[in-house]
Amino acid sequence: MPAPDVLEDAGAIPTPALLIYPERVDANIRAVIAQCGGNPARWRPHVKTAKLADVMARFLVHGIARFKCATTRELRVLLELGARDVLMSFPVVGANAERVRALAVAHPASRVSVLVESAEHLPAWNGSHLGVFVDCNPGMDRTGRDPANTDTLVSLVHAIESSGCEFRGLHWYDGHVSSLDIGARESAAHAGYDRLASLVKALKALGITAPEIIVAGTPAAPCALSYPRWGGVESDVQISPGTVVYNDTTSLAQISAAWGLAPAAFVLATVVSHPRPGRFTCDAGHKTVSADAGVPTCSVVGHPDWTTAKPSEEHLPVDCPAGAPVPHIGTTVLLLPRHICPTVNNFDEALLVRGGHVERAVAVTARGREGTLR
């Protein structure tokens, strides 16, 4: 794991702190575009990871024009930045749907789209003229319509068009393959894409064209790019990984080193206790570094032989090898999270670091959710 430059005056920074390295962010964006054959149009990044307006703006600088997001706050930040094409990848209903409609009206130069899986979702979008993608269930059983039921999908597409909306295509999030090693992951993902290609062919035979197909978060992205039969699908196929903008211990294990990705976001923590020999505790519990992916929640940069133990809310114990020295109280350590996306969401601000120095503090603009009063 390539370590970042040593941070000068780390002891003067209140911890825990979120550090983001913009030069690495840019390099990661360039690396993913390179894997897309140099074509930024093949990547529709999910900004649930990026969260910062400063980082979302970097996508635009590199020619990324299409995005996914999950909350209305993420949608608002993207639209305020001038993003021209944004898909709400979470099936919003009720008051949340009304907010999406209001944001779309307030930003007429941008193309806002939503997901539906059944006719039950459509009343929220009647007369909105928004784009609509049909969410398919590839086997994750989280959201989406069974792709084997072609007749139901045909009826849904006709209902979308009758509602005054534009049918834009199909959404296929195959996150359930993430636990497999790369060989099995590719086999499972490709089998899914075979089913998806058959669905597109069946719809076309019934007079329905899927203009766009959106697949693959971070774990399945290499599988989607290696799938050999997209040319026969005759749709604009896009991948949608988001974690790759910062990376974490999970993504770096899932994605080949040949991609050239590097960790670009870390948590700076301080040693606060020596509870017993061989163990120290720092101030980065699960309210700082997300524990949703399990224990260990992170690794300590530069110390692969140190093991992070189960955290509590503010405490993160770390075990050192028998007989090895432990860092003094007051020492700072750099942590690479196991799951960076919810970790970024834990912070109100991030510190941008260049050349070993904090350049400035910036807001984590799209963290949390919009308030009920606006």
Q: What separation in angstroms does the CA of 88 have from each of 72, 104, 159, 191, 343?
A: 8, 11, 19, 26, 21
Of all residues in the chain, the percent with pLDDT exceeding 90 is 94
373: pLDDT strictly greater than 60: no
Can you tell me the mean pLDDT for 329-355?
97
User: Alpha-carbon distance 141 to 117, whole Å?
Assistant: 12
Q: Which helix (H) or strand (E) holds 115?
A: strand 111-116
Can you tell me the mean pLDDT for 20-47?
98
pTM here is: 0.95
Would strands 332-337 and 298-300 be described as parallel, antiparallel, or unpaired?
A: antiparallel
Task: Say how many residues make up the chain.
Answer: 374
SS3 314: coil
Domain assignment present for residue 250? The answer is no
Domain assignment present for residue 22? The answer is no
Can you tell me the mean pLDDT for 170-192?
94
Domain assignment present for residue 130? The answer is yes
What pLDDT does 9 receive? 86
User: Alpha-carbon distance 100 to 87, whole Å?
Assistant: 11
Domain assignment present for residue 300? The answer is no
Question: CB of 39 within 8 A of CB of 33?
Answer: yes
Encode pLDDT of 120-142 as tens digits.
Answer: 999 999 999 999 999 999 999 99
What amino acid occupies position 301? V
Number of domains composing the chain = 1
DSSP state of 46: B
Measured between alpha carbons, how far apart are the two ends of the chain, in Å? 43
Which residue range(s) make up the domain with 94?
A: 36-242
Residue 227 belongs to domain with CATH number: 3.20.20.10
User: Alpha-carbon distance 282 to 17, whole Å?
Assistant: 12
Encode pLDDT of 61-83 as tens digits.
Answer: 999 999 999 999 999 999 999 99
Domain assignment present for residue 232? The answer is yes
Domain assignment present for residue 325? The answer is no
Q: What separation in angstroms does the CA of 217 have from each of 49, 220, 243?
A: 11, 6, 8
238: pLDDT strictly greater than 90: yes
What pLDDT does 371 receive? 78
Q: What is the rounded average pLDDT for all residues in the chain?
A: 95
Domain assignment present for residue 143? The answer is yes
The residue whose two tokens read 């519990």 is 285
Domain assignment present for residue 266? The answer is no
